[in-house]
């Protein structure tokens, strides 16, 4: 079994940001030399997510509106008693999840034509990290 | 390390459909000869999901109602400016996710008694694909 | 390739409970001797979840309130025609999901500083099981 571990660093300018990281994951798979296996891609934080969906700006706007409706920014989260103000970012992370696992076949992401991997930041303007871990042969 | 990759093709008659694919995954595991490992099962689309829950018709109806409440069909999604009308199907996919990873032990899905793998279609009446990828030994 | 499979048994006193199982997963990784790989941690039930987020009591209270809002206990779920009363627990499971996959690097969970693995029970006061499956080398 072979494995490769890579860390990406993200510094967002905005509190919320959606960043397509499919190319970085594809590059890591190529670098690993792994032909058949699984690629794990995860946020190392609990206020940002990694998800798979379409690279379409209108849809990303829809996702942002939808997350705000289901997991709204509010002042009265109990989590804020710690001094934090990012309770909604934790809930948005739970809704979209921290990570995805992706199939690797013939040395490539084995995806359908519209699947793209996104990093979604909900508590940005600080340094964050993404881990890519590929295992296989 | 061994691996097996299988693709299932789905052609739904309805726009929304819930299809139990546990047997197909179990068959693929048997075919792989893998005794200990992980089985990845994922939709290759961004408007359908793979999830694990109970094979009970009432519950499936509840899930359908619940998804419609949390990620409703609407005419005003920005994604529809592309000509699509399936914005809600993208959000339903994000809610339930594209894929599951399953433990394989002694050559079988290592599940509790009620766990079943479902493919949930939210934008059907067209050909869709599911990928099963098993790695292990 | 090496693998280790462990089962944890949980007996909650309350219907809803949030239990930090990060140490149990870390112990299983150590026991496996696996240095590079993936650790799967999943509920073997469809009315409880495994998720990753912060070990902070206020936040856990916020999560509980939020789940109750998005997937409320109701008497009129069709699933209840089977005699069950736990329809909401199934939906809460779907919202947070059954399992997480975690990267293992240098024999340890390769997590950011705030990531903790939780078992969330939504239909407790009975014996439940969690499976940990680690594969790698």
Q: How far apart are CA C45 and CA B25, in angstroms?
A: 18
Query: pLDDT band for position C48 (50/70/90)?
Result: very high
> What is the mean predicted confidence (pLDDT) over B9-26?
97
Q: Within 10 Å of residue A106's Cβ, how many Cβ atoms?
A: 8
**Cβ-based contacts of A88 with chain C (< 8 Å):** none
**Cβ-based contacts of A114 with chain B (< 8 Å):** 45-46
Q: How far apart are CA B116 and CA B60, in angstroms?
A: 12
**Cβ-based contacts of B91 with chain A (< 8 Å):** 62-63, 66
Of B46, B70, B78, the CB nearest to A52: B46
Do the Cβ atoms of B58 and C80 come within 8 Å?
yes
CB A100 within 8 A of CB A111: no
The CATH class, in words, for A2-136 is mainly beta
Check if C103 contacts A (Cβ < 8 Å): yes
Q: How far apart are CA B80 and CA B102, in angstroms?
A: 35
Query: pLDDT band for position B3 (50/70/90)?
Result: very high
In a mutational test of the B interface, the residue from A59, A71, A133, A134 whose CB has the highest number of chain B CBs within 10 Å is A59
Query: pLDDT band for position C61 (50/70/90)?
Result: very high
pLDDT at B105: 98
pLDDT at A54: 97
**Cβ-based contacts of C79 with chain B (< 8 Å):** 54, 56, 58-59, 62
Q: Provide ipTM, 2 decimals.
A: 0.97
Query: pLDDT band for position C119 (50/70/90)?
Result: very high
pLDDT at B21: 98
Neighbors of chain C with 3 or more C-beta pairs under 8 Å: A, B
pLDDT at C16: 98
Check if C61 contacts A (Cβ < 8 Å): yes
Neighbors of chain A with 3 or more C-beta pairs under 8 Å: B, C
List the single residue in A with minimal CA-CA distance to C1: A1
Q: Which of A111, A20, A8, A27 is nearest to A59 (CA)?
A: A20
Rg (CA), chain C: 16
pLDDT at A106: 98
pLDDT at C84: 95
pLDDT at A56: 98
> What is the mean predicted confidence (pLDDT) over C63-74?
98
> What is the mean predicted confidence (pLDDT) over B14-26?
98
Q: How far is the CA of A10 from the CAs of A13, A48, A130, B48, C88, in angstroms?
A: 10, 11, 8, 29, 37
Of C54, C58, C70, the CB nearest to A70: C70
pLDDT at B81: 97
State chain B's mean pLDDT as an integer. 98
Check if C108 contacts A (Cβ < 8 Å): no
Question: Where exactly are the structural domains of chain A?
Answer: 2-136
Query: pLDDT band for position B77 (50/70/90)?
Result: very high
- Helix B87-96 vs helix B57-70: crossing angle, to nearest 10: 120
Distance from CA of C116 to the nearest CA of A (A): 9
Which residue ranges of chain A lie beneath pLDDT 70?
Answer: none
> What is the mean predicted confidence (pLDDT) over B108-136?
98
CB A117 within 8 A of CB A100: yes
pLDDT at B40: 98
Of B57, B59, B136, the CB nearest to C135: B136
pLDDT at C86: 97
State chain A's mean pLDDT as an integer. 98
> What is the mean predicted confidence (pLDDT) over B41-52?
98
Do the Cβ atoms of C56 and A82 come within 8 Å?
yes
pLDDT at C95: 98
Distance from CA of A64 to the nearest CA of C (A): 17
CB C82 within 8 A of CB B56: yes
pLDDT at C36: 98
């Amino acid at each position: 079994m072979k494995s490769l571990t890579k860390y990406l660093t993200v510094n967002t300018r905005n509190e919320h940001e959606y960043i397509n990281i499919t190319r970085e994951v594809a590059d890591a798979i190529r670098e690993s030399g792994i032909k058949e296996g699984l690629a794990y891609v995860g946020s190392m934080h609990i206020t940002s997510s990694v998800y798979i969906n379409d690279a379409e700006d209108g849809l990303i706007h829809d996702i942002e509106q939808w997350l705000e409706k289901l997991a709204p920014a509010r002042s009265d989260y109990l989590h804020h008693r710690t001094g934090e103000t990012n309770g909604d970012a934790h809930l948005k992370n739970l809704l979209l999840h921290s990570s995805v696992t992706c199939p690797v076949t013939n040395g490539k992401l084995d995806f359908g034509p519209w699947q793209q991997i996104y990093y979604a930041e909900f508590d940005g303007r600080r340094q964050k990290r993404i881990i890519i871990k590929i295992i296989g042969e």
